[in-house]
Structure 1
Amino acid sequence: MQKPIYILGIESSCDDTSASVVCDAKVLSNVIANQEVHAKYGGVVPELASRAHQQNIVPVVQQALKQANISKEQISAIAFTNGPGLMGSLLVGTSFSKSLAIGLKIPLIDVNHMQAHILAHFIDRENTKIPPFPFICLTISGGHTQIVKVTNYFEMEILGETIDDAVGEAFDKSAKILGLPYPGGPLIDKYAQLGNPKAYKFTKPKVGELDFSFSGLKTGILYFIEKQQRINPNFIEENLNDICASIQFTIVEILMDKLKKAVKKTGIKHIAIAGGVSANSEIRKKLQSAEKHFGWTAYIPKFEYTTDNAAMIAITGYLKYLNNDYADMSVATKARLKVTE
């Protein structure tokens, strides 16, 4: 009988320290330590993030091994995020992973954070559809907005991407304009549930066929709010639900319009979403209705695998391990890294 393969995944690309153990594509543990310190600054402070990673990484890894009920000697390989992300944060995870791999004399596997978001769909779990190749993945997060054609585990092609801001940034900055605390994206989603999505109309940007742009929309929202507040200083409080619903409706319409074009262009009707913004209730709803209306098959990740987490790093590490695709100890951390690299 084949010996089980245990992969320890470590994720430290931004402000969450996470460790996970997978055994043959099944998640045994997925521990995430959030950093509350950034909320009062209205965004992630890189220096504070890397310091918090240094404090969190040992207890988080210990907890992941304990929950998985294995000893460190049973680990087959260590997978870690080597980019993209904040350099200081990435270095903490990279240094720790290299040291542990040397100490245990086991392989080290470098993982592209953006590929891992997509490959989270291949975590083995009950009652979940796994996308067949080729499929299209809409990768939406605070730092990325991309439409990716996925031909196999490690062959990906960017069909379109944002030319300025990412969609998560558009949600968070719109929330900031409305005076909502960071991170504001989930709050817009929450208030939008109670509002009228057609209450206010915001213009959609005109960019390349499959590319995105959100900076103009953000500016449009700012000018609209400023104008309304000059007329009525209590405009935001009195209309918060409708404003949030209208912003969310516009952003999701932009995403869906581009997806429809990507399906038309490629003929691929298997559509997955990945990244932090794939937790948004409206995009999930729209994708599910597209199954009925357009004959698509939608692949929607579990909420715990949408934000930055080490389970997606571990599953990617597992797939690379099967290929004997290991990293050298000289592997460098990269703050910028495309999904195709």
Structure 2
Amino acid sequence: MKVLGIETSCDETGVAVYDTDTGLRAHALYSQIALHAEYGGVVPELASRDHVRKLLPLIRQTLADAGLGIDELDGVAYTAGPGLVGALLVGAGVARAVAWALDLPAVAVHHMEGHLLAPLMEDDPLGRPEPPFVALLVSGGHTQLIHVEAIGRYRLLGETLDDAAGEAFDKTAKLMGLPYPGGPQLAALAEQGRPGAFKFARPMTDRPGLDFSFSGLKTQVLLAWQGSDQSDTTRADIARGFEDAVVDTLAIKCQRALDEAGCDTLVVAGGVGANRRLRAKLQDMAARRGGRVSFPRPAFCTDNGAMIAYAGALRLQAGQHVDESVRVTPRWDMATLEAV
């Protein structure tokens, strides 16, 4: 089954073709970073309009890269939520139009399920991780620990009570004067910082539970920055202290989640999953437990069409599809999904 995947939940237009027999055939991604940079954040209306401009050319490019004609597709998958309603409607409208014109089944994919399943696309020397496992979904909009009992059967173990980890990275970078998008720039700056020069709290690790909170950490960084000489060296040291605090917090909570779920397999997905120090920390933690941790390649940590094509292919193979109406769900609880 050859499935076209379309992702337009926020500020990246992603398209891919996944073949259930041969794997990922092709994928393409257009980022709107340059468009939104002058505003310091995503402008929803501009995002929607840019998806309109870019989506059809990306579909043509991806099909050409896959060596396929559009009439060789067997199904269409699209992100239906969570996300920006206008951006979601662009992808849903195009996906439903393609499916209707070609008389193909279409399936609405949960954006975070796409992230969760992205590591399962990768070639892993230990084999594809099989449920049950614990998933850490860590991005600009979400920080969640999920017990994956089966594909489509998800139990929330813990989540952030305020800022997501990626959002905290972006806001911390902004308060120290780094340009948009700040998170990746802060992580790069942290590579130059001295470990231990600034020591920040590991929030909510001194009490039981699996929830997160990063707003207080952000405030600690602000106070440290305002009370410093604000030199380039100090900026790098603070960035390192902040990154270490976030990474340690995520690792501590992941270990607790594995204990609670009674398993030793961790799957990590989302934009912050590309962070080099987080990957090293979690790999070390998994090795000490005698377990394993799986990540998607860095290109598939951020929003992309490949994860949507893959998640959609699993559901289409299971006989799941949607009717011909164009519907999106900007707020969508992953626990309400059907099992595959």
Is TM (by shorter chain) over 0.5?
A: yes
Cα displacement (A) at 1:291: 2.8
Cα displacement (A) at 1:279: 0.4
| Aligned pair partner of 2:295 in 300, 316, 329 | 300
Are 1:20 and 2:16 counterparts?
A: yes
Are 1:251 and 2:246 counterparts?
A: yes
Determine the structure 2 residue equivalent to 1:329: 324
Cα displacement (A) at 1:148: 0.5
Cα pair 2:106 2:321 within 8 Å, conserved: yes
Once the two structures are superposed, the pairs formed by residues 278-289 of structure 1 within 5 Å of their partners are 278-289=273-284
SS of alignment partner, residue 133 of structure 1: coil
Residues 1:196 and 1:78: Cα distance change in structure 2 (over 3 Å):
same
Cα distance in 1 for residues equivalent to 2:315 and 2:53: 29
Residues 1:128 and 1:41: Cα distance change in structure 2 (over 3 Å):
farther
Determine the structure 1 residue equivalent to 2:29: 32
Cα distance in 2 for residues equivalent to 1:275 and 1:93: 20
Determine the structure 1 residue equivalent to 2:200: 202
Cα displacement (A) at 1:240: 2.2
Cα distance in 1 for residues equivalent to 2:227 and 2:240: 19
Are 1:135 and 2:133 counterparts?
A: yes
Determine the structure 1 residue equivalent to 2:309: 314
Determine the structure 1 residue equivalent to 2:107: 109
SS of alignment partner, residue 227 of structure 2: helix
Cα displacement (A) at 1:304: 1.5
Cα distance in 1 for residues equivalent to 2:267 and 2:113: 13
Residue type of the alignment partner of 1:160: G
Range 238-247 or range 301-310, more displaced: 238-247
Cα distance in 2 for residues equivalent to 1:39 and 1:291: 37
Cα distance in 2 for residues equivalent to 1:157 and 1:41: 37
Range 115-124 or range 168-177, more displaced: 115-124
Cα pair 1:21 1:314 within 8 Å, conserved: yes
Q: Deviations over 1:51-84 (max 9, x none)?
A: 1000000101001100000001011010000000
Cα distance in 2 for residues equivalent to 1:192 and 1:294: 28
SS of alignment partner, residue 272 of structure 2: helix
Once the two structures are superposed, the pairs formed by residues 128-207 of structure 1 within 5 Å of their partners are 129-206=127-204
Cα distance in 2 for residues equivalent to 1:236 and 1:165: 27
Determine the structure 2 residue equivalent to 1:239: 234
Range 251-260 or range 201-210, more displaced: 201-210
Cα distance in 2 for residues equivalent to 1:113 and 1:155: 15
Cα distance in 1 for residues equivalent to 2:26 and 2:174: 34
Aligned residues: 332
Cα distance in 2 for residues equivalent to 1:129 and 1:144: 27
Range 261-270 or range 156-165, more displaced: 261-270
Cα distance in 1 for residues equivalent to 2:233 and 2:195: 15
Cα displacement (A) at 1:203: 2.1
Cα displacement (A) at 1:171: 0.3
Residues 1:208 and 1:53: Cα distance change in structure 2 (over 3 Å):
farther
TM value normalised by structure 1 = 0.94
Cα pair 1:114 1:338 within 8 Å, conserved: no
Q: Deviations over 1:274-300 (max 9, x none)?
A: 011100011101011113322221112
Cα pair 1:178 1:236 within 8 Å, conserved: no
Give percent identity, aligned residues only. Answer: 40
Cα distance in 2 for residues equivalent to 1:122 and 1:164: 29
Cα pair 2:251 2:285 within 8 Å, conserved: no
SS of alignment partner, residue 217 of structure 1: helix
Cα distance in 2 for residues equivalent to 1:208 and 1:101: 48
Determine the structure 2 residue equivalent to 1:47: 45
SS of alignment partner, residue 340 of structure 1: helix
Cα displacement (A) at 1:331: 5.2
TM value normalised by structure 2 = 0.94
Cα pair 1:42 1:183 within 8 Å, conserved: yes
